[in-house]
């Protein structure tokens, strides 16, 4: 059992000290600069980049893919896992710009008319306070000079979390979830999510966009946990 002093330290004093002192990198303990969040620039630069073969494989594995290309800067390493967890569940919204910067580096040579995040159901958005993929997409829009819109697609139903589902269950789970809300005829569109696992969610969005007349649809994410290259 924890002593009274430990409880006081953990719950009342430590948060005050952490707030008052300069923050440290979660991985190497270096003092963070004002512009750094959770991870120092040096540790961030050492995160394993996603291999182009892995991304090609991921795209090929998506059944009935409506995606023309996928852009992913990182493999889902422990560092990325830690950062994304804080970004999604601990309100470290500022990480969106760091993620967007890394994605922007990978899409340099491509042209897009519009960029958007995967829509969240309004109930989920209210719970979390923000749509994490729109946040990355809006920073990406600014960095890569693409028009951002969060009104391209709408989410029809509140789906259960994808994380514990099998590949087939994921495909069924996202069927008929999204609908078009704008004219996308002849547009080149970039869809953004934080992670792409099997690609079923982002492909469901791409399918709706292509049905609406979009000429080119690509997906971008911070990382992918996909590893199986045969
Ligand atoms: Zn570090």
DSSP string, 64-114: T---SEEE--EE--HHHHHHHHHHHHS--TTHHHHHHHHHHHHSTT---SE
Q: Ligand 1: distance of its center to the CA of 53 in Å?
A: 28
Distance of CA 89 from the midpoint of ligand 1 (Å): 21
Same domain flag for 213 and 147: yes
* Per-residue b or e along 180-208, where b marks 16 or more CB atoms closer than 10 Å to that residue's CB: beeebeebbbbbbbbbbbbbbbbbbbbbb
Instruction: Measure the CA–CA gap between 220 and 117, rounded to whole angstroms.
Output: 9
Are residues 1 and 12 both part of a single domain? yes
pLDDT of residue 35: 86
pLDDT band with cut points at 50, 70 and 90 for residue 109: confident
pLDDT mean over 85-108:
92
30 Cα–ligand 1 center, Å: 6
Are 133 and 38 within one domain? no
For residue 90, give both structure tokens.
Answer: 């601990």
- Give pLDDT, residue 15: 65
User: pLDDT over 70 for what percent of the chain?
Assistant: 87
User: In residues, how long is the chain?
Assistant: 230
Residues 28, 62, single domain; the answer is no
- The CATH number covering residue 153 comes to 3.40.50.2020
CB–CB of 58/70 below 8 Å? yes
- How many Å lie between the centroid of ligand 1 and the Cα of residue 128? 28
Q: Which residues surround ligand 1, an ion (CB under 5 A)?
A: 25, 27-28, 30, 40, 43
Q: Which residues pair with 100 in a beta bridge?
A: none
Q: Does residue 50 or residue 5 have the better pLDDT?
A: 50
The secondary structure of residue 24, as a DSSP letter, is B
Q: Are residues 8 and 118 in the same domain?
A: no
Cα(117) to ligand 1 centroid in Å equals 29
Question: What's the mean pLDDT in 8-29?
Answer: 72
Same domain, 142 and 39: no
If asked whether residues 2 and 74 sit together in one domain, one would say: no
* pLDDT for position 230: 44
Query: Of 11-15, 135-139, 199-203, which range is least confident?
Result: 11-15
104 and 163 assigned to the same domain = yes
Whether 33 and 55 map to the same domain: the answer is no
Query: Would you state the pLDDT for residue 171?
Result: 63
Considering the domain architecture, whether residues 39 and 56 belong to the same structural domain is answered as no
Better-predicted residue by pLDDT, 130 or 161: 130
pLDDT at residue 37 is higher than 80: yes
The confidence score (pLDDT) of residue 136 equals 97
Q: How many domains does the chain have?
A: 2
3-state secondary structure 48-59: CECCHHHHHHHH
Contact call for residues 156 and 128 (beta carbons, < 8 A): no
Residue range(s) defining the domain that contains residue 38:
1-46
pLDDT digits (tens, 9 = 90+) for 146-184: 999 999 999 987 666 666 777 777 666 666 789 999 999
CA of 12 to the centre of ligand 1 (A): 27
Regarding whether 29 and 125 lie in a shared domain, the answer is: no
Cα-Cα end-to-end distance for the chain: 50
Query: Domain for residue 83, yes or no?
Result: yes
- Clarify whether residues 104 and 214 are in a common domain: yes
């Amino acid at each position: 059992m924890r002593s009274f002093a430990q409880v006081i330290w953990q719950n009342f004093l430590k948060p005050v000290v952490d707030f008052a002192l300069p923050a440290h990198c979660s991985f190497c303990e270096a003092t963070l600069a004002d512009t750094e969040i959770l991870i120092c620039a040096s540790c961030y630069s050492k995160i394993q980049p996603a291999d182009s073969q892995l991304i090609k494989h991921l795209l090929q594995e998506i059944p009935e893919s409506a995606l023309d290309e996928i852009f992913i800067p990182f493999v889902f390493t422990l560092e990325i896992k830690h950062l994304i967890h804080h970004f999604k569940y601990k309100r470290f919204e500022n990480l969106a710009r760091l993620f967007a910067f890394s994605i922007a580096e990978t899409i340099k040579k491509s042209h897009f008319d519009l960029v958007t995040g995967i829509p969240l159901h309004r109930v989920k958005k209210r719970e979390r306070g923000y749509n994490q993929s729109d946040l990355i997409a809006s920073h990406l829009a600014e960095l890569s000079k693409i028009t951002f819109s969060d009104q391209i697609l709408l989410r029809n139903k509140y789906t259960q979390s994808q994380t514990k589902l099998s590949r087939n269950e994921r495909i069924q789970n996202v069927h008929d979830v999204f609908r078009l809300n704008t004219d996308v005829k002849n547009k080149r569109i970039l869809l953004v999510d934080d992670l792409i696992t099997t690609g079923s969610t982002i492909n469901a969005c791409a399918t709706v966009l292509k049905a609406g007349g979009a000429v080119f649809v690509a997906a971008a994410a911070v990382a992918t946990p996909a590893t199986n290259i045969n």
